Structure formats: structure tokens, C-alpha cells
């Protein structure tokens, strides 16, 4: 499978772009366990052209995580084009346009999935970005605005006509947000549309290796993208890739997984320390780093099903330094 000139393995598995999740440390962790491509957090085009420091930091990519895509969002074609040119200077392999984020502060302002209500502007933005840069441009979007407007088959053709190199489709409408089940039948309809010649990447509810293979078999998509199922579980890429290649279930001990989580915490904390060394004390940066990683500790399936775990979970999420956090984690298994 190719996206422009970039070659990927057959049945590739990508890490989805997620705000406050796909920071550099997490991307490298997922890459280590087999993610075939990783994406940055969402980058606001408006904030980027204003040189907002926190947004500029999101452009930091490293050779170790390649191929890597920077994802941008916005509602103005010229601003999006300028933001894409700025992103290109960070040397990503791909620039991805976010037409799928459903949250009110994005979609409600006419960006992200909000553009599913204004297809002409969506296409204008796409064309402006494609024309602005030399790197491949891809798009991530949803099935449509709501259940009465699931027009992704027509949208996909129109986006392809603007020159994008690949399309990722999340199997929900904007109105569904993240509720209900992802509908892969329309993703399959896009993939099997004879007019489509670019790679199609499916996204939504890939929570296990078995489901991943089922989606490949049923839809014929070129790649799948894993999002929320990677929270506190970066080894999911190892699970999926091993199953796709061998048909066998890969697993490791809970003790091994706990050590991976602790390593993820350490790397996340170190990233925050590196970013904020000039503004924060060592203790403050450590506390901030732990707060940043709490999402993964709260969501990891590693702790599910443990009897009487509530108090331990609360203590773990309230820890403010690594010594206390790891002491609690070491009591779990």
C-alpha cells in the first residue's frame, strides 16, 4: 500500500491523532510496538499562524517516529494553507486535514466535523492545502453530519478530486460523537467505489486484534486506525500486528504490561520536564507530567476486573510524584 510515494506494509495499522494523547512520547511508544504511522495532536491553523507557543510545540517530530503526519484543522482556506506551509517546515511525511473532530469548541465553530455542513468550503480548504505544499495531503472525516446526511461516498469522491493522497473515515456521524457503534458498511462502500483510487483507512471501534482482522476482511480497507483503544495500552499494536501476520493471539504477563505503563509514565513526565524546564521547578514539572498521563492510567484495560480496586485507582490518580505513584502501582499485581 502506498500513500503518494510512501510505502506501507499490507494491512497497515496507524495510531489516530488525538488531542492531549498523541504527544511525542506516546507516538514513539506506539511506534515501538508496531504502529505503521503515527499522527500528532490536532494543530489549530489559527493558533499556528499566530505563533502560539503551545501550538508550535506540536510540530516537533523526530526521525524515530517516521512516517509521521501532522494534522491541522481550521475553517479558513487561506489560514489553513499558511498553516500547512508552516507545518511543512517541520518536515513531516504527510499533512492531514481534520474534518472529523466532533467536539463543540471545534465543530461548533465551523472547523473539524463542522465542515460536513459546508461541503463547498471543505473542498475549498482541501484544494488550498494541497496546492500550498509539496508533501502528500490526506484527510480524516466522518460519515456525514447526522444520520439523515450520511453522504461520505459523494464526499470521498469530491475530496479525491481535490488531490488528496489518502482518506481516513471514522464510522460515525458528527451527531453521534463517540456514542453507538461505528458503521463500517459505508466505509466499505467508499473503498469499493470503482471511482476511488486512493487508499482508504478505516477508523472506529478497533478494540482487539480479532475485530481488526474482521474489518480488513469485510471492507477491504487499505489500513485501519486505532484511537481510544490505545489509551494505557500501547502494546495493542503488537497484539494486532502479530495476529494479522500469524493468526495467533499475542499476550504478555500483567507484570510486563505494568512495566510498560511505568515506562510510559516516565517518558511522558520527562517530555513535560523538557518542555517546561524554564518555567517550572523539578517537582512542579513532575506533577504536571503525571497529570498529563492520568488519562492512560484511568483508561488502561490492565486494571479492569481487579476486585476492590476503586480505592487503589483513586490513590493512583491522586499521586503527585513518581515515587508515590510507582509505590501504588507496585502493589497491584
Give the span between the Cα atoms of 123 and 150, in whole angstroms: 17
Give the span between the Cα atoms of 137 and 180, in whole angstroms: 30
Give the span between the Cα atoms of 197 and 193, in whole angstroms: 9
The radius of gyration of the chain from alpha carbons, rounded to an integer in Å, stands at 20
Question: Cell 503526519, residue?
Answer: 69
C-alpha distances out from residue 285 to 147, 270, 277, 316, Å: 45, 9, 7, 18
Give the span between the Cα atoms of 192 and 196, in whole angstroms: 8
| Residue 200 Rama label (left phi>0; alpha psi -120 to 50; beta) | beta
Residue 30 annotated in active site:
no
3 state SS of 138: strand
Catalytic one among 30, 87, 101, 212? 101
Q: List, in sequence order, the alpha helices (H) in the chain.
A: 24-32, 45-49, 53-57, 77-88, 104-107, 119-132, 152-161, 185-191, 209-219, 236-246, 254-276, 282-299, 310-318, 322-329
Give the span between the Cα atoms of 203 and 215, in whole angstroms: 10
3 state SS of 29: helix
Question: What is the H or E stretch that residue 94 is in?
Answer: strand 94-99
How many CB atoms neighbour CB 168 within 10 A?
Answer: 28
Enumerate the active-site residues. Answer: 101
Amino acid at each position: 500500500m502506498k500513500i503518494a510515494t510512501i510505502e506501507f506494509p499490507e494491512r497497515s495499522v496507524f495510531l489516530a491523532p488525538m488531542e492531549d494523547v498523541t504527544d511525542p512520547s506516546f507516538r514513539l511508544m506506539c511506534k515501538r510496538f508496531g504502529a505503521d504511522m503515527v499522527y500528532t495532536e490536532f494543530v489549530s491553523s489559527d493558533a499556528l499562524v499566530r505563533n502560539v507557543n503551545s501550538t508550535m510545540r506540536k510540530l516537533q517530530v523526530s526521525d524515530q517516529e517516521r512516517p509521521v503526519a501532522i494534522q491541522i484543522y481550521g475553517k479558513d482556506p487561506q489560514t489553513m494553507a499558511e498553516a500547512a506551509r508552516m507545518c511543512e517546515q517541520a518536515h513531516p511525511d504527510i499533512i492531514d486535514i481534520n474534518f472529523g473532530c466532533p467536539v463543540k469548541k471545534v465543530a461548533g465553530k465551523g472547523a473539524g466535523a463542522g465542515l460536513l455542513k459546508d461541503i463547498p468550503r471543505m473542498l475549498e480548504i482541501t484544494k488550498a492545502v494541497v496546492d500550498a505544499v509539496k508533501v502528500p495531503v490526506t484527510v480524516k472525516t466522518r460519515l456525514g453530519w447526522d444520520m439523515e446526511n450520511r453522504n461520505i461516498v459523494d464526499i470521498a469522491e469530491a475530496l479525491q478530486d481535490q488531490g488528496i493522497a489518502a482518506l481516513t473515515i471514522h464510522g460515525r456521524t458528527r451527531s453521534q460523537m463517540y456514542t453507538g457503534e461505528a458503521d463500517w458498511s459505508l466505509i466499505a462502500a467508499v473503498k469499493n467505489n470503482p471511482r476511488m483510487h486512493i487508499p482508504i483507512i478505516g477508523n472506529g471501534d478497533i478494540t482487539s486484534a480479532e475485530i481488526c482482522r474482521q474489518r480488513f476482511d469485510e471492507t477491504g480497507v487499505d489500513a485501519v486506525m486505532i484511537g481510544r483503544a490505545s489509551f494505557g495500552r500501547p502494546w495493542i499494536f503488537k497484539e494486532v500486528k502479530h495476529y494479522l501476520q500469524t493468526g495467533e493471539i499475542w499476550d504478555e504477563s500483567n507484570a510486563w504490561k505494568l512495566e510498560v505503563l511505568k515506562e510510559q509514565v516516565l517518558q511522558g513526565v520527562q517530555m513535560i520536564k523538557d518542555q517546561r524546564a524554564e518555567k517550572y521547578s523539578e517537582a512542579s514539572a513532575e506533577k504536571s507530567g503525571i497529570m498529563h498521563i492520568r488519562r492512560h492510567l484511568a483508561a488502561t484495560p490492565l486494571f479492569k476486573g481487579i476486585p476492590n480496586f476503586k480505592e487503589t485507582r483513586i490513590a493512583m490518580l491522586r499521586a503527585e510524584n513518581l515515587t508515590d505513584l510507582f509505590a501504588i502501582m507496585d502493589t497491584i499485581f
